[in-house]
Chain A
Amino acid sequence: MQSNIRKPGNRSRLSDTLLAIRAKFVGSVDERLSVLAGAVAILGENPHEAEALGHLRRECHRIAGIAGSIGLHEEGALAAEIDGAIKSDPANWPVIKPMLEDLITRLADLQK
C-alpha cells in the first residue's frame, strides 16, 4: 500500500501536468468543433434528428467532464448546461442552439 501523504512540491508539478493536458485539450478542439458543427448542420435542417442530438449530447458531456477539471470552468459549465437541456427536452432546439453557438465560439477562441 502506498502512502497518501501529499509531498511538498507535488502541487506545482501537478499544475504543469494540468497545463500540459489543457494544451492537449486545446489541440483537440478542432475535432470537437467538427462534431458540434456537424450536429448543428443536421439539426438546423431537422431539429428532431435523434442521432445528431445523440452525438451532440455525447460531445457536450465529454467537454463538460474534462473542461472544468483543467481550469476551463465556463466552457465546462456551458457544455454541461447543453447536455442537461438536451436530456430534459431534446425537442427544444431554439433554446439549445444559442447555447451551442456560444460554446462553439468559446472553444474556437481557445485556439487563438
Chain B
Amino acid sequence: MKILAVDDEPLFCEVLVAELQNLGQSDVHVVYSAADALKQVISETKPFDCVLLDIDMPEMTGIDLCSLLRKTPQTSDVPIIMVTSRSELDSVDKAFAAGATDYLVKPLDSRELQGRMTMAVSITRERIARKQAAANSNQGTVFSFEEACRLDIEHSCLDYLAMQNYVLKLNSMQMFTQSAVGFRVENARELFQILTGADFKGVMADVAEIIIEAIRSETSIIAYAGSGRFVAVTGRYPDIDMETFADQIEQKLVTLNQWYAELGQLPVRLDVGQPVNRSLISLESPADVLEKAIENTYQPMFKVGGQPDTLRLGRGG
C-alpha cells in the first residue's frame, strides 16, 4: 500500500515510518507541510492508497488539507486518517466533517495504528477490485444498489465506515450522546433501475443535502448507508423537533421533485425514522445505534416527498 504521511515534526514522521514498517508497510512517503502534500498527490503517477495527516500544521491545517484532498480526484476516495495530539470534540467533529475516515490520537499506539491500517488495506482492496471490474466491463464506474458509497456534497457527508468510526471515537471519549435519525428513499430501487449509476448517486446526494440543510446544525453529519438509506447524527440537546424537521424536508423535497419532473425524472419519496438517542451509560454499541436508526425507517415516523399519499404517521409510526 502506498502511503503519504504529513506532519510538520520530522521526528514524529520517523516514528510513524518505523511503526508502519513494523506493520509491513514500507512504501511510505513523508512530507512536512500541507502545501508539499498537495504537490506530491498531484505529481505522483501512481496515486496514494492512504493518507495520514497531522492537524496542527503552520499555514494550512490538516483539516483544511483533508477537505482539499477529498476534492482532488487522486485522493477523493482513499482512507484519510488523522494522527494528531488534538483530542477535543471540536477537532474530532471538524476532522470527520472534512472527510476524515478515522482519527488517531498521539502518542502513537502501535495496536491502534495496526487496526487503522488493517481497515485501510481492506478499503484499498475493495477500491482496486471495483476499478478492475469497471475496466473489465467498459462501463466506467461499477456501482451496486447496496454500495454505501461516499456522496459528492459540499459538507458534512461521510462514507458509512467513517460514520461508524466517528461514533466509535465519540464513544471512546465518552461523548456519544447524539441522536441518530435514519432516512430511506422508499422508491430507491425503482430509481436505481431507471437511472445510470452516476445519476442515482446524484439523486442520493441531492437527498443528503436536503436532510443536512433541514437539520441546520453545524455539527450534524450524514452518511449514505447504501440501498437508498441514510443516517444522520446530530446534537441531542435540544431535542430535534421532528414535526418541524419533517416539514422542512417536505418543503425542500417538493421543490426538488418539481425540478425532477421537469427533467422527466421520477420523484423521490422519503421515509423518516424515529430518532434513536443514546445515553452515556447505554450498553448499546454506537454502531448498533446507527443500525437501529436505519431500521426505524421501515416503520417510518413520517413519509415525505410531496406525493398525494404523503402521510404524517406521528410518533410511534
Contact = CB atoms under 8 A, between A and B. Distances in A.
Nearest to A16: B18
Contacts of B199: none
Interface in A57-75: 58, 61-62, 64-70, 73
Nearest to A60: B85
Nearest to A76: B107
A18 B108 CA distance: 12
Interface stretch (B117-125, B207-215, B257-265): B117-125
Interface string B39-71: 000000000010000101010000000000000
Given A14-B19, A62-B9, A2 B25 contact: yes
Given A4-B114, A4-B117, A21-B15, A65 B22 contact: no
Most buried by A among B1, B14, B128: B14
Interface residues of B, number: 34
A1 B11 contact: no
A111 interface: no
A100 interface: no
* Interface SS majority for chain A: helix
Given A18-B18, A64-B85, A2 B27 contact: yes
Contact of A1 (B7, B84, B121): B121
Contact of A69 (B12, B26, B117): B12
Contacts of A68: 106-108
Contacts of B27: 2
Interface in A1-59: 1-7, 10-11, 13-14, 17-18, 21, 24-25, 28, 58
Contacts of A70: 11, 15
A80 interface: yes
Contacts of A80: 85
B238 interface: no
B12 A65 contact: yes
How many interface residues does chain A have, given as a range? 20 to 34
B206 interface: no
Given A4-B23, A28-B11, A65-B85, 11 more contacts: A4-B118, A10-B22, A18-B15, A21-B11, A62-B9, A65-B7, A65-B84, A68-B106, A69-B15, A76-B107, A83-B85
Interface of B: 1, 7-9, 11-12, 14-15, 18-19, 21-27, 49, 54, 56, 58, 84-85, 106-108, 110, 114, 117-118, 121, 124-125, 128
28 contacts: A1-B49, A1-B124, A1-B128, A3-B24, A4-B23, A4-B121, A5-B24, A6-B22, A6-B23, A6-B24, A14-B19, A14-B21, A14-B110, A17-B18, A18-B15, A18-B18, A21-B14, A62-B9, A65-B7, A65-B54, A65-B84, A66-B11, A68-B108, A69-B107, A69-B108, A70-B11, A80-B85, A83-B85
**8 closest cross-chain pairs (CB), A and B:** A68-B107, A69-B107, A17-B18, A69-B108, A14-B22, A66-B12, A64-B85, A69-B15
